Amino acid sequence: MNGITTTNLKSLKKIYSGKVRDLYEIDDKRMLMIATDRLSAFDVILNEPIPAKGKILTSISNFWFDKLSDVVPSHFTGERAEDVVSAEDLPQVEGRAVVVKRLKPVPVEAIVRGYIAGSGWKDYKATGTICGLPLPAGLVEAAKLPQPIFTPSTKAAVGDHDENVSYDELVRQIGAELAAKVRDTAIRLYVAASEYAATRGIIIADTKFEFGLDEDGTLTLMDEALTPDSSRFWPADQYRPGSNPPSYDKQFVRDWLESTGWNKTPPAPTLPQDVADRTAAKYQEALEKLTG
């Protein structure tokens, strides 16, 4: 399959490989972040790439970082990735890399849900709650929630599963002031993005954000923002409460993996080429719809 699943820059030192992104050191204040074409599902990295996925994710994230800059600052430095690597490394960074600030990560995935879907739907059916938050009785799959809810999870190491935590547990882990700031900022970001996406015919069912603190302690949005990897996008014209709408995101891959009977531990099943290509087409469609 066509795509970049790993990077190996000659001009910078690699310091980390995540589920999707590789980080390289520029200096003590800046890093180069490269979005590969790797795809992670159920916290397992698939062997097969999604063609051009990294470039699409970067374009979508860059769009949102700029659009939401009045809500919270982002990790951008304003420099071009092509200007910090050697000529031989350009093919690995063009269109898929950004120069970012080195931040102190806040160890939480800030998940905001506006609709009841996925693991939230399973949780609600079993307990009447999502991550311990009580919800009205009688909600159906894909129903819009009375208001967006914040359901944080731990930030797991690569290969481990993220675990949902209560807000009280988050307060114990990072402190009341920072927990409240993360929660309130994540909800504001979700609301602002959802209102814009609605004008483009897209419902953002849920999403997750990651934050860091800069050297002044300012909360800063980092990693990615509102991409098909970190969000559940639904076409508004196909939305019907009571059923799981088709999505622009990697739910397509998740659904295929679920159909195989895979136990969600490595290794993942081999992704068929047609599933990879159709997923790439969904990502591209999301980019075009959101950004025009």
Q: According to CATH, where is 3.30.200.20 located in the chain?
A: 13-102
Q: According to CATH, where is 3.30.470.20 located in the chain?
A: 105-250
pLDDT digits (tens, 9 = 90+) for 169-222: 999 999 999 999 999 999 999 999 999 999 999 999 999 999 999 999 999 999
Is the overall model pTM greater than 0.75, yes or no?
A: yes
User: Phi and psi of 237, rounded to 5°?
Assistant: -75, -5
pLDDT digits (tens, 9 = 90+) for 42-61: 889 999 999 999 999 999 99
Query: Mean per-residue pLDDT for 95-118?
Result: 97
Residue 153 is predicted with a pLDDT of 94
- Is the dihedral angle over the CA atoms 211, 213, 218, 223 positive or is it negative? negative
CATH of 105-250, one of 3.40.50.150, 3.90.550.10, 3.30.470.20, 3.10.450.50: 3.30.470.20
Terminus-to-terminus CA distance in the chain, angstroms? 28
CATH topology of domain 13-102: Phosphorylase Kinase; domain 1 (3.30.200)
User: Phi and psi of 32, rounded to 5°?
Assistant: -105, 125
Q: Taking a C-beta distance cutoff of 8 angstroms, is the pair 105, 210 a contact?
A: yes
CA distance 45 to 3: 14
pLDDT digits (tens, 9 = 90+) for 228-243: 889 999 999 999 999 9
Structure tokens at 83: 């200007």
